[in-house]
Amino acid sequence: MTEVCSSASSCMGDINKPGSVGIPLVKNIISAFEPGTDKELNIGEKGEICITGPTIMLGYYGKPEETSNVLRKHSDGRVWVHTGDIGYIDEDGFVFVDGRIKRMIIRHDGFKVFPSMIENVISTHPTVETCSVVASPDKNNPQGNLPYVHIVLKDDVHERHGQIKAEIIKLCQNKLPEYTQPVGYKFCESLYYTPIGKVDYRRLEMESV
């Protein structure tokens, strides 16, 4: 991140774990916090990844409001950079990033659903090429959203949609908590992408009904 003068963590030689972004560099502190608060979470709990240390920026030039959204002074007296990333710190101090906080799905009952958690499970099905989980309005409650899955299958399995859908539903039921179960599954030829090559989840949300 440019907000922390490039890197705040790194994998070094055999000090590494697959899927992690390494351990904090010297004098940097990285932790996960309850989104929207300065409540620090326990080891292994998912929240917003925040960083503090001697290399954090002073602020965005001429943009005080944007600066205050990213740089926040916590109750510990330190100024932390709120990265907007969702992740956790494991028992050995390795940092894992799972996705962006703006993609987090909040249910009517306050439960938070992380799309990557569902995507990682569905992607293990041998017929799935790629998938994206987005928020869909909860039809039974005046507020809150529920997860909805868009799935791209491999070329040679399109005639088995019904069977594959049943297998994916069963997979989610076996591998995921009840509150994260998707409310819909849509097979599509391809996902929508932004001009810079990222999944256009906002456009997918418009079709998640």
Encode pLDDT of 74-83 as tens digits: 999 999 999 9
118 and 161 both lie in a single domain: yes
Q: What is the pLDDT of residue 161?
A: 87
For residues 180 and 126, the answer to whether their CB atoms sit within 8 Å is no
Locate 43 and state its tokens: 């080891």
Q: What is the pLDDT of residue 179?
A: 95
Residue with tokens 């920026």: 57
34 and 64 both lie in a single domain: yes
159 and 147 both lie in a single domain: yes
* CATH number of the domain residue 35 falls in: 2.30.38.10
201 and 108 both lie in a single domain: yes
Q: Say how far apart CA 94 and CA 17 lie, in whole Å.
A: 7
For residues 3 and 56, the answer to whether their CB atoms sit within 8 Å is yes
Domain that holds residue 112: 104-206
Encode pLDDT of 59-69 as tens digits: 999 999 999 99
Boundary of a domain, candidates 100, 131, 159: 100
Into how many domains does the chain fold?
Answer: 2
For residues 168 and 203, the answer to whether their CB atoms sit within 8 Å is no
Encode pLDDT of 157-204 as tens digits: 767 888 999 999 999 999 999 999 999 999 999 999 999 888 998 899
140 and 169 both lie in a single domain: yes
Encode pLDDT of 145-159 as tens digits: 999 999 999 987 767
Mean pLDDT of the chain: 92
Tell me the whole-structure pTM to 2 decimals.
0.72
Boundary of a domain, candidates 66, 100, 134: 100
Number of Cβ within 10 Å of residue 197's Cβ equals 6
**H/E segment holding residue 119:** helix 115-122
Helix, strand, coil distribution of the chain in percent, nearest 5:
25, 30, 45
